[in-house]
Chain A
Amino acid sequence: MFLSVIQGFLACSAQEPVSFSIEKDTVVVDIATLREDASFPDWKTVRLVGEGSSNVHLPTIFPNVETLSFHYTTGTRHLPKALDQLPFLSNLSIEGTNITDIPLSVSKIRLKRLEIAHNPLLESIPPLPYVQNELAIHHNRSLSALPDTLGAPKSITKWDFAHNNVRRISAPIQEYNSLRHVSVAGNQILQLPSEIASLPRLESLELQDNPLLSLPFDEESNNRIMQLKVHNLPNLVRISNWEGLSNIRSLSIHNCRRLRSLPTDWRPLKLLKKIRITDTNLSVLSLKLEALRNLESLAVRSNPNLTELSDVSLPDAMQNLLLNRNALRDIPLAVSEHPNLRILRMDENQLRTLPSGLCQNDRLLELSLGNNPLYDLCGEQFQMSSLYFLNIQGTQLRTLPQSLALLPNLEILSIGSIPFRKAPLHLANSKSLRVIRILGTADEYSERIKKDLKAVLPPTIRLEEI
């Protein structure tokens, strides 16, 4: 390695010097200082940096380079000539330039990996028939069309086309049957061909942030996808079935503001462990989930029109249920009496009362009911013996049950600014409480409640303003 550095010095010692440094096995060269008579013959990994540009004959300078990257060379408006004459080049990265096109010569290079990223002015890319393994064309904001040939069909395993401005994929997808990872996230795609969901080796498909009208899956789909993100699809109104997703473990639906219908039959997703449904336009959601025996966590949050959960049946494995920020009026029986639930969050719904089964639940560790118009905690029947954390801030409770001070495991109680008639002084009798959280408002009434509480609380209970 040292010898090669010396050669670099000798080659350029007579004129303006070439600026370079070495990072492990990479020579990092300021592109603006490259000259035709410089030579780095033994370096296989080269990173060009700096804000200048160059049009030197790279094969002369880096005759043995295998991995070449243009790394935020913002002065580069045209790639140097003769890239296709680098005989050993197998990895090429063109990241952070101001080029407008990729020269045709690049399409002739037999590469293992090609990355073209963060080039905001790039508008066109020639066909790329010889990229063997990985093709990453992402974050090129002016790129509205991909080439018709997107790597060697028989061997390419990864397509990353995220965050361009592409409207469709015109390459014959069914021919690329070695693909394992595909991302088309963040483009302008209205429709994905169903062939993409039938690529037999496909393990991940990133399709979020597109104006998609529908998902590409159907009963013919045959893939190995284990995680699906249905995120930021503003035009998606309906998902009609869950067929073709028999391998997924994690399903996340987020920020699909027009989505008002999900399938009621969840059975095709038999391996699912995690479901998240947030920021949709759902008003009713069927949760007949008992067939999903591996389901551990369900989060249905911030769906402002969701008033009803129907056909609720939860598998025994479920431990976390997060139902915050909907418009739910009731807690279903299958929730309140679930035998293994540990965490239940129902903040910011429309709950007025609690089912008695919930108040007797002796497994729940965390219960959050903040900002509901709740006016009662099951009278004196609030006996959740395992409860560690209880949040009731922003409710309409006027008093707190005496039984609250008797809960053997309650350590954190968040009471916020609920409109008490008088300070809940009986909390001072609790043997388990460590923290009472109260809202730091400045009005006289709250100040008095705080003062009264402080006066009676033992040193083991801390009053914490939030």
Chain B
Amino acid sequence: MIFFGLACTALENSDVRTAAVEIKAGTYSVGPYVLGTRSQRSNREITLSYSYLIQATELSKGDYIRTTGGLPEERCVRSPDPSPLSLQDPISCISWCDAILLANVRSREENLAPAYQIPSGMSFSMSEIDCNENAQFVTLDLYASGWRLPTEAEWDIAALGWKKEAQDLEKVAWFDQNAENIPHAVRSKAANPQGVYDMQGNVSEWIWEEYGPLIQKRVKDPHRKEFHLLNGYARLIKGGNFTSSAKGLSLSARPQASAGMRSDKIGVRLVRTIRTVEE
């Protein structure tokens, strides 16, 4: 884009990227999770060999349009009453595939190494079933510098390892008690102590991995590099949304949705690896 700024003011570059918060490499105690197939609840000790940036807010509609040129075009499961369009609201109605594609597009725009290898047949606004069929062929390079979806461990750490779960939900979250059945502008509630907004409520957020039993209590850089043929196409969505009850905002909840699903209750927040300890 070219800008002119003599007598007339050039149109400001409104592409103000969502601010991001750095989470340092280190060992974090996160939980309690239900571990394995037993109902035993215990914390996990997660060691990250790298630091990462996590977007301070959920991606807004305005951010999404600036990257892709428009709102998603495919079928979306919606609440019945339409609300006015606001570009400050979190983007929703995007599938896991859209989110993956978006991350790579943004990485290229910023000259970062894309984190995903994406099958050639994947494109924005592909149908639910086409996304489901392609999702298992996406692979991740966790240590690439580009934007990507958070792993479950990264998301959980950014949510403060749940130690502060007892925080005042009214102050930090849009949920069924205050949202009036619609999403609200990102950054319109208080941030958590790490400076991250809307980790609970507003829209649920796509996670890279599918639901699976958590087995090991001590893990290093936990992530799935690739999906094997038979792991299906369900993916985790975390944090609850504007229709969730207080219980539904629990950070330990691990709901999932099919990768191709589009819902006005599911959005995205991106992360990226910034440095490893070895560096």
Residues of A within 8 A of B (CB): 5, 8-10, 12-13, 17-23, 28-30, 33, 49-51, 72, 74, 95-98, 117-121, 138-139, 141-142, 162-163, 185-186, 208-209, 229, 231-232, 252, 254-255, 276, 278, 347, 368, 370-371, 391, 393, 414, 437, 440-442, 466
Contacts and interface: CB of A to CB of B under 8 A. Distances in A.
Nearest to A276: B129
Given A163-B75, A231-B129, A121 B82 contact: yes
B16 interface: no
Contact of A21 (B11, B37, B83, B216): B11
Contact of A368 (B11, B14, B127, B229): B229
A30 B11 contact: yes
Interface residues of B, number: 38
B9 interface: yes
21 contacts: A5-B4, A12-B8, A19-B9, A21-B3, A21-B4, A21-B11, A23-B2, A29-B11, A96-B65, A98-B84, A120-B85, A121-B82, A141-B78, A163-B76, A208-B75, A254-B129, A255-B129, A278-B129, A368-B229, A441-B36, A441-B213
B247 interface: no
Given A21-B11, A254-B129, A442-B215, A72 B65 contact: yes
Given A119-B85, A231-B127, A441-B215, A370 B230 contact: yes
A181 to B, nearest CB: 15
Given A10-B7, A96-B71, A231-B129, 14 more contacts: A9-B4, A9-B7, A19-B11, A22-B1, A50-B14, A118-B71, A138-B73, A163-B75, A252-B129, A347-B230, A391-B229, A393-B230, A440-B215, A442-B215
Interface in B158-211: none
A118 B85 contact: yes
Given A95-B70, A141-B82, A17 B215 contact: no
Contacts of A21: 1-4, 10-11
A391 B230 contact: yes
Contacts of A10: 7
Interface string B47-80: 0000000000000001001000011010110100
Contacts of B277: none
A72 B84 contact: no
B86 interface: yes
Contacts of B8: 8-9, 12-13, 17-20
A13 B7 contact: yes
B173 to A, nearest CB: 24
Contacts of B215: 440-442
A61 to B, nearest CB: 13
B11 A20 contact: yes
A186 B74 CA distance: 9
A320 to B, nearest CB: 12
A290 to B, nearest CB: 27
B15 to A, nearest CB: 11
A72 B88 CA distance: 12
A463 to B, nearest CB: 14
Contact of A74 (B1, B76, B84): B84
Contact of B84 (A20, A30, A95, A120): A120
Contacts of B62: 72
A280 to B, nearest CB: 12
Contacts of A49: 11
Interface string B222-242: 000000111100000000000
Interface in B122-137: 127-129
A120 B83 contact: yes
Contacts of B113: none
A17 B9 contact: yes
Interface in B8-36: 8-12, 14, 36
A9 B10 CA distance: 10
The 10 closest A-B pairs by CB, nearest first: A13-B7, A17-B9, A21-B11, A120-B82, A141-B82, A9-B7, A17-B8, A19-B11, A442-B215, A98-B84
B4 A20 contact: yes
Nearest to B69: A71
Given A95-B70, A120-B83, A442-B36, A466 B1 contact: no
Given A21-B2, A120-B84, A254-B129, A209 B11 contact: no
Which of B8, B10, B87, B231 has the most chain A CB atoms inside 10 A of its CB?
B8
